[in-house]
């Protein structure tokens, strides 16, 4: 894969912002995950973060297990124009729901900071026989430093929210970041 320097810079800038949004979620009592939708010119179309622990409002999804960061972004963005030209950035590898929604909406590309070895849908997006999923370009964990930051941020939630075998996968994938949790 060839990635132009400007594109690399853009990935880094936006992934850092998803991590900042993730920290805001944690502060507000939700799970630490943030997401952005960005157009081909590098303009942010919508910002979102996990809101599962917060009340639902007229403006924002919330107070529901499906109030994931990527769903918040998609609700904010409304009807998408030229979705194939959009990139979804997330601090964590999207789950089946959010990966599926991205395929349904025909988002062109998904970039995430940290893998989710239990709940992530990246494998499905990459290997699925579903034609809409094959249309999505995926860029998993392009920056080791940000991957580590995201893993440390989400690790306590992974232990709390996932079954033992899910947590075991996290321990295996991110031994340093899950140590002592």
Q: CB atoms < 10 A from the CB of 23, how many?
A: 15
The span from the CA of 158 to the CA of 163, in Å, is 9
The separation between CA 10 and the C-alpha centre of its own chain, rounded to angstroms, equals 16
Residue pair 81/60 in contact (Cβ under 8 Å)? The answer is no
Of the listed 17, 70, 93, 177, which one is catalytic? 70
In sign, the C-alpha dihedral spanning 98, 101, 105, 109 is positive
Nearer to Zn ion by Cβ, of 102 and 178: the residue is 102
Contact call for residue 101 and Zn ion (CB under 5 A):
no
Q: How far is the CB of 28 from Zn ion (least distance, A)?
A: 17
Nearer to Zn ion by Cβ, of 8 and 28: the residue is 28
Q: Per-residue string for binding with Zn ion, 11-50, x by CB under 5 A?
A: ----------------------------------------
The span from the CA of 172 to the CA of 148, in Å, is 14
Contact call for residue 98 and Zn ion (CB under 5 A):
yes
70 is catalytic: yes
Q: How far is the CB of 22 from Zn ion (least distance, A)?
A: 13
Task: Scan residues 47-86 and list those touching Zn ion (CB under 5 A).
Answer: 68
Pick from 146, 162, 165: which is nearest to 23 by CA? 146
> Looking at the annotation, which residues are catalytic?
70
Which residues of this protein are in contact with Zn ion, per CB under 5 A? 68, 95, 97-98
């Amino acid at each position: 894969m060839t990635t132009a320097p400007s594109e690399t810079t853009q990935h880094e800038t936006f992934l850092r912002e998803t991590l900042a949004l993730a920290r805001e979620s944690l502060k507000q009592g939700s799970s630490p995950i943030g997401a952005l939708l960005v157009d081909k010119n590098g303009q942010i179309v919508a910002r979102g973060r996990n809101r599962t622990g917060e009340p639902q409002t007229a403006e924002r999804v919330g107070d529901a297990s499906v109030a994931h960061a990527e769903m918040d972004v998609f609700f904010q963005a409304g009807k998408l124009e030229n979705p194939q030209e959009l990139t979804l950035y997330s601090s964590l590898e999207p789950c089946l729901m959010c990966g599926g929604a991205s395929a349904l909406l025909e988002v062109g590309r998904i970039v995430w900071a940290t893998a989710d070895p239990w709940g992530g849908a990246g494998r499905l997006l990459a290997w699925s026989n579903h034609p809409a999923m094959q249309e999505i370009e995926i860029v998993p964990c392009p920056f080791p430093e940000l991957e580590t930051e995201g893993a440390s941020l989400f690790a306590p939630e992974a232990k709390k929210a996932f079954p033992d075998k899910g947590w075991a996968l996290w321990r295996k994938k991110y031994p340093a970041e899950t140590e002592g949790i």
